[in-house]
Amino acid sequence: MFRIVNSVRTAAKRTAMTARRNFASDAAPPQYEGAEAAVRKVLPKDEQIVAAYIGIVASIVLISKMTGSKKEEPVAVVSGDATGPVDMVPSMFSDKFDEFISSPGGEEAFNKSCDEFEEWMKVPGNAAKYEAQFS
């Protein structure tokens, strides 16, 4: 019997000597102040706050993509005489065409310009020159 009592005492001493680890279970919960306290009332877990943040950022990006304005391309400004350079053949609908076609070499220049018109229009600024002669 003495042996049983002695083993119980030794076991009690061992448990009293070992440190008890609760991993901060006895620590007080953190106290939040200001805006964080208001957020923590609605979203108490950290995971909820992260999910809400991702949702807000995704919503802002989606709305900006849907309502974003497109940048307009700059309009080419034609400087100088609106009728164009001397070597440019006037349009058939222009008031100056009759004068040009009756001039010496006008008909040959008109036929040559008809053959090269597509390439001429591809050069930047030439389309604006062509349209400017109508105004």
126, 93: one domain: yes
Convert the pLDDT of each residue in 66-94 to its tens digit: 987 777 666 555 444 444 444 567 777 77
pLDDT over 60 at 130, yes or no: yes
95, 132: one domain: yes
| Residue 113 domain flag | yes
pLDDT higher for 59 or 105? 59
Convert the pLDDT of each residue in 16-70 to its tens digit: 566 666 676 667 778 899 999 999 999 999 999 999 999 999 999 999 989 877 7
104, 132: one domain: yes
| Residue 107 domain flag | yes
Number of domains in the chain: 2
| Residue 134 domain flag | yes
Q: What is the mean pLDDT of residues 4-26?
A: 67
pLDDT higher for 60 or 6? 60
DSSP the chain: -HHHHHHHHHHHHHHHHSPP--SSTTSPPPPP-THHHHHHHH--SHHHHHHHHHHHHHHHHHHHHHHPPPPPPPPPPP-S-TT--TTSPPPTTSTTHHHHHHSTTHHHHHHHHHHTHHHHHHSTTHHHHHHHTT-
Longest dimension (CA), the chain: 141
Which domain covers residue 87, as residue numbers?
Answer: 80-135
